Amino acid sequence: MALALTYGTSRTLVRMRLVAFRHALEDQLRRSWIVTGGFVGLALAGGTLWVAARGDQDVLVVVLAVWMLGWVVGPLFAGGGDETLKPEYFTMMPLPPRTLSTGLLVAALAGVAPVISLIALLSLVVVSGGVAAALVAVPALLLQLLCFVLASRLAVAVYGVLLQVRSGAVIAALVNAFILAFTAQGWALIVAFVSTDVQGTVGKAARIAPSGWGLVAVDAAGRGDWLEVLAALAGLVVLAGLMLLAWSALLVRRTTVTRAGRTPRRLLTARTPEGAAAAKELRSWTRDLLYGHRAVFAVAYGLFFCMMPLAIGMKSMLPWAGPAAVVMAGSMAANLYGADGTAFWTTLMTPGSSRADVRARQRAFLLVFGPSTLLITLLLTWWSGDTGAWPLVLSVLPALLGGAAGLVVACSVYAAVPTTDAHKRSGNPLNSGENEGETMGIVYVMLVLVATTCAPALVMALYTGWWGVPVGVLSGVLAWWYFGRVAARRLDARGPELLTLLRHGRSPAEQAKKTAGLDALPKWRRTLAGFCLGFAAIPLFPQAVVPAVFKLTGNHDTKSWFLALYQDGPWQWVVIVLMAALGLSMYAFGGLTYYRAKKRAPDGSVAVVAG
């Protein structure tokens, strides 16, 4: 009876998942994200199979560990992962926790990411050395895939529990920031701690990790060690069972726990509208756990990103921890009004409150990130001992703070993305609704926009030294004032439309109008534009901006993966300029394609975009 119920539930949930996926493909933006992600995933899976074909098991086991790490941390950066079927939808149904968790697990396997991971795990069959090993590889790769998906679901569930309490939100932010920084700067830690026999040492560690147990079983089958085969496969089965039990328990907690309201610790005592708005916004940053999580994440990311090279004695990046934190903070706060949701009506219904509300949000942003990033910049620049960095960072930091404080309000007004209201958040606080792809797109755009606000100050500081500081202060103040003024005027003129968007989302007619221009373009052009916007940052920042800063600040020792720094003499600048031109061209092509498509008439009567 229990098996029949589990089978029926799983079958129904899989059908629901597939129907939802089919509907997701009808949305142009979501389809572009799915196609781009699928393309990148297939390329990575092909690379994994190529590694397996070479027969180097030490490298393969490390690659499989990276796949499992991607499953664990990927959802933490993508709005809590794909939760098309939320557990809360089934609270009123008489389903035992094990049945529901099993059904949701089976439904989670019916997606693009599990299929791509399955292709990558076929490397276990490729690397097997005989018939017996190949036969063992089949259950091993299936169990390995099951553990990947379960680890992902369990990580999201644990992360959601942490975000329910203040200390947990801080811990989760620190872990999140470290992992993201490690993806960019982890090479320094690897070089420092594994100075000899890198491949062998890391390979041995990866075999001990659960991600390597499948390969251990295949390797043992090739040697005829059947006891080790059984131990490895049994370990995967036990691990999957334990993770399923833990996930089931967390699902019960998520769907049954109620949270009572708390009495405010301190009431608002402001006597002016501006003061009340500022106090309210500051309380949002200190009391809303998601706000606090993002603030800690931004500052911690800047610290981790610039301090990891200390493992190899490199101090030249220390002064830039504060500016890096500001750039990340600006991108994370790019949807302030979208995060308000329907609570925005309280602002809208108060006459003349737009300007006060916008300036309050800007003031709160500066109060949250200004003192902390300034202190970080001063301390780490002093620690680095690089006297030439002082005018650079002190010019860049005020420009970035003012630019970010202006852009976050302007972006959140002009490009607000509807999210789940705070009082309707599910047990997975990372999941903000059905628009995670659009939200992530705005985050990536804001990374570029905020970083560019320091360009005048940086150029002035590079050529004139300390004269860059007043330029940075002036540009920061102007950006803060101008973008805040633009945002306030937009709220006065289009406030009701913004509230309607946040309350109801975009109507089918608006969605159709939004994608009409894109649908009229050739498929290859839409795909190429999405690819350019998604990957233009790679040639522009790591391969152009960072090596240019290294050369201008006199750092000639660090090469890492910066292609330009491996060239000789003037060819370094040639490569830097070419990479910058490539990145800017990709952004220009993608941006102009979407901009011109958006200007198309819904009926397609406008002439086809040139080019």
Q: Is the dihedral of CA 47, 48, 49, 50 positive or negative?
A: positive
- Spatial neighbors of 272 by CB under 8 A, at least 6 apart, are none
Report pLDDT digits (tens) over 143-192.
Answer: 999 999 888 888 888 877 776 677 767 777 787 788 778 777 766 666 65
What's the pLDDT tens digit per position in 311-323? 777 788 899 999 9
Please tell me which residue, 112 or 379, carries the higher pLDDT value.
379
CB 389 within 8 A of CB 319: yes
Q: Is the dihedral of CA 172, 177, 183, 188 positive or negative?
A: negative
- CB of 487 closer than 8 Å to CB of 408: no
- Average pLDDT value for the chain: 80
Question: Given a cut of 60, is residue 71 above it in pLDDT?
Answer: yes
The pLDDT, as a whole number, for residue 611 is: 35
Residue 610's Cα: distance from chain center in Å? 34
pLDDT at 610: 35
pLDDT at 282: 82
- The string of pLDDT tens digits covering residues 328-350 is 999 888 888 888 777 788 888 88
With beta carbons less than 8 A apart as the criterion, state whether 213 and 235 touch: yes
How would residue 270 be classed by pLDDT, with cut points 50, 70 and 90?
low
Structure letter (DSSP) for residue 599: T
Residue pointed to by tokens 């420092």: 192
Q: Are 4 and 96 in contact (CB under 8 A)?
A: no
- Identify the pLDDT of residue 2: 67
Neighbours of 397 (CB within 10 A): 28
**In this structure, are residues 488 and 358 in contact, taking their beta carbons and an 8 Å threshold?**
yes
Query: How far is the CA of 208 from the CAs of 65, 232, 313, in angstroms?
Result: 10, 10, 30
| Amino acid in the structure at residue 316 | S
pLDDT, mean of residues 31-35: 73
Show me where the domains of the chain are located: 2-255, 273-505, 508-611
**Tell me, what's the pLDDT at 311?**
77
Q: At what angle do helices 213-223 and 226-256 cross, to 10 degrees?
A: 160
Percent with pLDDT over 90 in the chain: 21
pLDDT of residue 608: 35
Of the listed ranges 58-67, 212-221, 324-333, the least confidently predicted one is 58-67
Supply the pLDDT for residue 24: 75
Of 399, 407, 396, 390, which Cα lies nearest the Cα of 449? 407
Convert the pLDDT of each residue in 415-448 to its tens digit.
Answer: 888 877 666 665 555 555 555 556 777 887 888 8
